[in-house]
Structure 1
Amino acid sequence: MAENTSDAGLTFLAAGLQQFAERFIEGLHVRYLAWLAAPAEFETFRASFAQVSTSGFAMASQILLIVAIVAVPLVIGGRRIRIGTGTAWSRLLLSATVAVIALAIGFVAARLLASQGLPVQTLQLWVTSTVAGWVVLIALHWLLLQQQPPEARLRRNRLTKFVRDLSLAILWAVAGLSLVASLRLWGAGAGMIDLWGTVVVTLPTLLLSTGAIWRHRRTLAGTVAGPRPRAFWRGSFARCWPAIVIGFILFIVVNAQVARTMGVALPGGAVAMTALIVIATPHLDAMIWDWAQRGLNSPNISTAAAAWRQTARFTVLIAVIASLGALWAAPLAVGFGIDLRHVALDAFKVALIGMFTAFCWNLIGTSIERVSRADRIAAAAGSTMTSSRLGTLVPLFGSIGKSLIVVFAFLSILVTVGVNVWPLITGLSFFGLAISFGTQALVKDVVSGMFFLIDDAFRYGEYIETTGAKGTVEKISLRSVSLRGSRGPIATVPYGQMGKVQNFSRDWVIDKIALRVSMDTDVELVRKIFKKIGEQISADPELNQNLLEPFKSQGSTEVEDGTLIVKAKFMAKPGTQFLIRKAAMKAILQAFRENGIRAVPKPFTGEVDPNA
């Protein structure tokens, strides 16, 4: 039975492919015949100019003149926009003003150059296409060049060359589409329009655009990769992006040609907008990401403003999804009889919830990042690697806050789409109660951790010792603390198993040095040597900044195994005593050699085997 079903499926697939091939070959033949008829259609097209008392040469001259007239304010305005130092909104307003002025000048000039009818419509078409092409070029310049920092001169030079090459392809495409639209306006034949659209517009535009992208593929990848540091997936995506763009363009061109050959009408506007959205979105995202990172690093930008910059990326994502849905999903929904008003309203509510959730998420993340950065700067200025109490608690509370935000957002979305969430909340409550009874150790760990953090027993970067482990605090979670030992291994200790916590990195530390010398050593001389060493250490700026009490002698307080025990001590900041101790020991050994003081090793007191 399964084999029969498989054979039937293969037969159906083969029949479909054969039918497609036959229709495609038939369409190619029809297009070929239409192209052969293009010369005759061209003669008919030339004759159409005589009906409105003009000629093809005169019409072409008027088109060139009207394009030149419109180009003058566009060039002047574009130069003013490029060299301007205003805000993005002021440049956008200036661009809109220049476009409106150019359109007005062009329409007035079209009225003056030609009489009513097809000549005026043709000139107005070229005025509109010229302004539209200028808008696309300004958007391309702003998207790739305007947001580059001034110090990135090399990248800006490379991007300038890429924009120049890509602008040539865009101008060719705009001029070609305007020419094809003019042919349709004057009633040219289908074969002539197809021939010009394919040979004069599509193929050259394809070669120019793909050639520009391939020549500047590294530059294009750099614009999508964004500033460093970047995620691994983003770097990999950026390296593949030029090939993706070329493949996407080839797919659109091939799909359009196949559809034309088979006589299937494609929504040209939807395809063009989809291509523009898909290609521009990664560049826009990288630009907003760079803008958001600058806001995050700038002390002049408030936390809320920096969080909004981060949220702008999510806003762009929602806009992209909404645009693609309006272009493709909306017609399908209408075809299936779905009421778009309710769907659009629910989608709008979900989008608002998502944007508010993203803003709260980024607000917490920005606050954590700024507190952590200020804490690191303060720690570096204080020559210590430990974190403040705020720097320790904020990341933990931030994780809790983000989790609550996600839960509330999920429940809000369910309520928006008409789902009754109270049974779900009740079920989760009983489930959580059952889990709490079954995981009493986990509850103990969480509660114990809360009290440890409230007591400020340890912070990030501090060296502590607790039951069964000691090391530097590297991670603090809800359930446990991770300690990295001096040799590298990490020990994860649940809070519930932590007894006494001994913190070696809080406030200050006293380091004592004990040395054995012979019984005939001059103790007063040793005291003077230690005092001189203490003065030398205090005179060293690198050591003195971490010294809280000077290095000084404690005299000789005991005799052990026929040797004198001389001691010294100093007080330093936690974690810096090892460097001071190293310098002190080096100075002590050198001073003992110079003054003839002999350090005595600890006598061996073990029993010796007489038979050994």
Structure 2
Amino acid sequence: MAENTSDAGLTFLAAGLQQFAERFIEGLHVRYLAWLAAPAEFETFRASFAQVSTSGFAMASQILLIVAIVAVPLVIGGRRIRIGTGTAWSRLLLSAMVAVIALAIGFVAARLLASQGLPVQTLQLWVTSTVAGWVVLIALHWLLLQQQPPEARLRRNRLTKFVRDLSLAILWAVAGLSLVASLRLWGAGAGMIDLWGTVVVTLPTLLLSTGAIWRHRRTLAGTVAGPRPRAFWRGSFARCWPAIVIGFILFIVVNAQVARTMGVALPGGAVAMTALIVIATPHLDAMIWDWAQRGLNSPNISTAAAAWRQTARFTVLIAVIASLGALWAAPLAVGFGIDLRHVALDAFKVALIGMFTAFCWNLIGTSIERVSRADRIAAAAGSTMTSSRLGTLVPLFGSIGKSLIVVFAFLSILVTVGVNVWPLITGLSFFGLAISFGTQALVKDVVSGMFFLIDDAFRYGEYIETTGAKGTVEKISLRSVSLRGSRGPIATVPYGQMGKVQNFSRDWVIDKIALRVSMDTDVELVRKIFKKIGEQISADPELNQNLLEPFKSQGSTEVEDGTLIVKAKFMAKPGTQFLIRKAAMKAILQAFRENGIRAVPKPFTGEVDPNA
């Protein structure tokens, strides 16, 4: 039975491919015949054109004149936009004003240059195409050049060359499409239009654009990669981006040619807008990412504003999806009889929930990043060796908050699309109750950890000792803490098994040094030596900044096995006592040798094995 079904599927597929090949070959034959008829269509077109217009030379002169008239405000406005120092919104408003002024001037000039009818429509078409091409060039310049820092001269020079080469392809495409539209407006034949659009417009534009992208592929990849540090996936995507763009352009051209050969008309505006959106989105994302990183690193920008900058990337993604849906999904929905207003309203609600969720997520992430950066700066400045209490709690509570945000957003989206979530919530409640009864140790660990953190028993980077292990705190989770031992191993200790916690990294530490000397040692001389060493350590700028109380003698208060025990101590910042102790021991040994003071080793009291 399965074999029959598979054979039937293969037969159906083969029949479909054969039918497609036959239609494609037939369409190629039809296009070939139409191209052969193009010279005759051109003669017919020239005769009909002469009846409406005085001469082709006069019409061409009017087109060139109207383009020159429109170009004047565009060139002036473009120069003002490029060298302006205003914000991005002010430049966007200025661009819109320049485009509107140029359109108005061009339409008025078209009325003055030509009479009613096709000549006026042709001139208005060229006015619109000129302004549209200018808008695309300004967007390209702004997307690739405007956001580059002034000090990156080499990158700006490379990008300028790339923009220049790509602008040539864009201008060629706009002029060619305008000419094809003019031919169609004046009633040219289908073969003539097809031949002109394919040979004169499509192929040169394809060669110019792909050539510019391939020649400047490294420069183009750098604009998508964004500032360092960057994720591995983004760097890999940036390296592949030039090939992706070329492949996408080839796909559009081949798809358009196949559709024309098959006799299926693709919506040219939708295809062009899709190409612009898909190609521009990674560059826009890199630009917003750079803008967001500058806001994150700037102390003058609030946490909420920095989080909004991070959310702007998600907003752009939603806008891209909405645009592509309006271009392609909306016609399909109308064809299937779907109410677009209801779908659009639900999609808008889901988008709002997504944006609010992304903002809350980025707000938590920005807070964590800024607190962590403050801790790193404080550690680099030497003011502290460990994380602050806020730096310890914020990442933990941040991960919990992010999880809750995702859960609430998921439930809110389900409610928006009409799904009853109460059975799901009830099921999760019973499941959580069963988990709590079955894993009492887990509950104990979580509750114990909560109280440890509330009591501020330890923080990141602190050296602690628990009942089961000791080491530097490297990770704090909801259930356990990870301690890095002095030799490298990591011990993961559940909070419920920690017991007593000794923290060796808080506030201050007292280090004591005990030495065994002979009974005839001058204790007063030892005291003077220790005092001098203490003065030397206090005068050392590298050691003094970590010294809280000076190195001083504690005298001799013990006698053990016929030797004197002389002691000294000092108070230092936690974690810095080892350097001070090392310097003190070095000075003590040198002073003892210079003053003839002999240190006595501790006598061996163990039993000796006679058979050893």
- Please confirm whether the aligned pair reaches a TM-score higher than 0.5, indicating the same fold: yes
Deviations 1:86-111 (A, max 9, x none): 01111111111111111122112222
Deviations 1:15-60 (A, max 9, x none): 2222211211111111111111111212222222311242112211
Report the Cα offset of residue 152 of structure 1. 2.4
Deviations 1:95-149 (A, max 9, x none): 1111111112211222222222211111111111011000001111111111122
Task: Within 5 Å, give how 1:342-381 maps onto structure 2.
Answer: 342-381=342-381
2:53/2:119 contact within 8 Å kept: no
Across the aligned residues of Structure 1 and Structure 2, the Cα RMSD in angstroms comes to 1.5
1:162/1:216 contact within 8 Å kept: yes
Report the Cα offset of residue 257 of structure 1. 0.6
Deviations 1:423-481 (A, max 9, x none): 22222111111111011111111111111111111111110000211111111111111
Report the Cα offset of residue 385 of structure 1. 2.4
CA–CA distance in 2 between the matches of 1:83 and 1:237? 32
- For the residue of structure 2 that corresponds to 1:305, the secondary structure is helix
1:289/1:313 contact within 8 Å kept: yes
CA–CA distance in 2 between the matches of 1:488 and 1:205? 61
2:449/2:478 contact within 8 Å kept: yes
CA–CA distance in 1 between the matches of 2:63 and 2:488? 76
597-606 vs 531-540, greater mean Cα deviation: 597-606
Which residue matches 1:167?
A: 167
1:384/1:575 contact within 8 Å kept: no
Work out the number of aligned pairs and report it: 612
511-520 vs 57-66, greater mean Cα deviation: 511-520
CA–CA distance in 2 between the matches of 1:600 and 1:259? 99
Report the Cα offset of residue 83 of structure 1. 0.5
Which residue matches 2:611?
A: 611
- For the residue of structure 1 that corresponds to 2:52, the secondary structure is coil
Report the Cα offset of residue 561 of structure 1. 2.9
58-67 vs 559-568, greater mean Cα deviation: 559-568
Report the Cα offset of residue 382 of structure 1. 4.0
- For the residue of structure 2 that corresponds to 1:107, the secondary structure is helix
2:511/2:570 contact within 8 Å kept: yes
Report the Cα offset of residue 610 of structure 1. 4.0
- For the residue of structure 2 that corresponds to 1:558, the secondary structure is strand
Which residue matches 2:422?
A: 422
515-524 vs 191-200, greater mean Cα deviation: 515-524
Report the Cα offset of residue 611 of structure 1. 4.7
Which residue matches 1:20?
A: 20
Deviations 1:514-547 (A, max 9, x none): 2223333322222222111111111111110100
CA–CA distance in 2 between the matches of 1:507 and 1:87? 48
2:53/2:59 contact within 8 Å kept: no
Stretches of structure 1 lacking an aligned partner (at least 5 in a row): none
Stretches of structure 2 lacking an aligned partner (at least 5 in a row): none
Asked whether 1:454 is paired with 2:454, we answer: yes
Deviations 1:542-596 (A, max 9, x none): 1101000001112222233333322211100000001111111222222223223
Deviations 1:312-362 (A, max 9, x none): 111111111111111111111111111111111111111111111111111
CA–CA distance in 2 between the matches of 1:498 and 1:610? 46
566-575 vs 421-430, greater mean Cα deviation: 421-430
Q: TM-score, normalised by structure 1?
A: 0.97
Deviations 1:498-521 (A, max 9, x none): 100000001100111122233333
2:513/2:567 contact within 8 Å kept: yes
Deviations 1:407-438 (A, max 9, x none): 22112111111122222222211111111101
CA–CA distance in 1 between the matches of 2:162 and 2:243? 16
- For the residue of structure 2 that corresponds to 1:51, the secondary structure is helix
Report the Cα offset of residue 372 of structure 1. 2.3
Q: Which runs of 4+ in 1 moved over 4 A?
A: none
376-385 vs 249-258, greater mean Cα deviation: 376-385
1:213/1:220 contact within 8 Å kept: yes
CA–CA distance in 2 between the matches of 1:287 and 1:221? 13
- For the residue of structure 1 that corresponds to 2:457, the secondary structure is coil
CA–CA distance in 2 between the matches of 1:396 and 1:151? 40
Deviations 1:50-85 (A, max 9, x none): 112421122112211211121111111111111100
2:466/2:498 contact within 8 Å kept: yes
2:530/2:552 contact within 8 Å kept: yes
Identical-residue share of aligned pairs (%) = 100
